């Protein structure tokens, strides 16, 4: 059995990679993720490896077999709440991470409470109406938070069309902006993962004080 890695050892490893100043900025960040499907589950794992200090994970679904083609879950996770399955994986990467799973369906009424302490929120829904609802709620009711939204990652098109752009002072958009299931086919792991990586990269840049995409 592998010896227990202490918090000090893990932090030292991250500091050696990032530098102390960057590590401190990442460690002090609080990020919310709305939706833990293909986008949200991949964003969460990347931010865990990055060393973000606090993650708020919100979803009310359970892992289904059909999710495994693009979402960061395993066969052993099928049937579990996504919040539980993802938290378990994240704690295996970094057991000292502060992770707050929220098994809840997000609404305009509870979003301000669920994400109250977040400086950055990632929108990771599939449904356009949910995307619009979250965007409107965050921009109107959470003035301290910057929102990173995602749109356009379906199909088997080139990953090079997926970009990050700044749309408003507190709104960034990741994706190609056009590809959806109705016109371009199903969601596939490579392009979904690329879009998730764009979102995680923008989280990283914002946490480090860099506001340009």
pLDDT in tens, 111-169: 999 999 999 999 999 899 999 999 999 999 999 999 999 999 999 999 999 999 999 99
Read off the DSSP letter of residue 168. E
What is the pLDDT at residue 117? 94
CATH class of 19-60+71-207: alpha beta
Q: Which residue has the tokens 């057991």?
A: 95
Assigned token pair, 202: 């923008």
What is the pLDDT at residue 179? 81
DSSP-derived 3-state class of residue 171: strand
Burial class (CB in 10 A: 0-12, 13-18, 19+), 134: buried
Instruction: Compute CA distances 123 → 5, 7, 19, whole Å.
Output: 33, 30, 29
What is the pLDDT at residue 180? 81
The residues of the chain scoring below 50 in pLDDT are: 1
What is the pLDDT at residue 2? 53
Task: List, in sequence order, every residue forming a beta bridge with 166; answer none if it has no partner.
Answer: 172
CA-to-CA distance for 24 and 40, rounded, in angstroms?
Answer: 24
Among 165, 174, 79, 73, smallest CA distance to 122 is for: 174
Among 203, 10, 14, smallest CA distance to 96 is for: 10
Domain spans in the chain, listed from the N-terminal domain onward: 19-60+71-207
pTM of this structure: 0.96
Alpha-carbon radius of gyration of the chain: 17
């Amino acid at each position: 059995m592998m010896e227990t890695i202490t918090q000090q050892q893990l932090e030292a490893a991250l500091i050696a990679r990032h530098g102390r100043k960057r590590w401190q900025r990442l460690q002090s960040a609080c990020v919310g993720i709305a939706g833990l499907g293909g986008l949200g589950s991949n964003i969460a794992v990347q931010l865990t490896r990055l060393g973000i200090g606090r993650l708020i994970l919100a979803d009310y679904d359970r892992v289904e077999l059909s999710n495994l083609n693009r979402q960061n879950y395993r066969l052993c996770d099928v049937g579990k709440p996504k919040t539980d399955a993802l938290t378990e994986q994240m704690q295996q990467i970094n057991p000292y991470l502060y992770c707050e799973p929220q098994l809840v369906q997000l609404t305009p009424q509870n979003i301000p409470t669920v994400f109250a302490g977040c400086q950055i929120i990632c929108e990771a829904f599939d449904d356009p109406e949910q995307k619009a609802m979250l965007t409107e709620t965050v921009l109107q009711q959470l003035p301290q938070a910057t929102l990173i939204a995602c749109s356009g990652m379906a199909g088997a098109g080139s990953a090079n069309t997926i970009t990050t752009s700044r749309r408003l002072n507190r709104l960034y958009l990741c994706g190609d902006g056009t590809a959806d299931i109705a016109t371009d086919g199903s969601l596939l792991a490579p392009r979904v993962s690329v879009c998730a990586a764009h979102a995680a990269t923008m989280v990283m840049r914002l946490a480090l004080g860099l506001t340009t995409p």
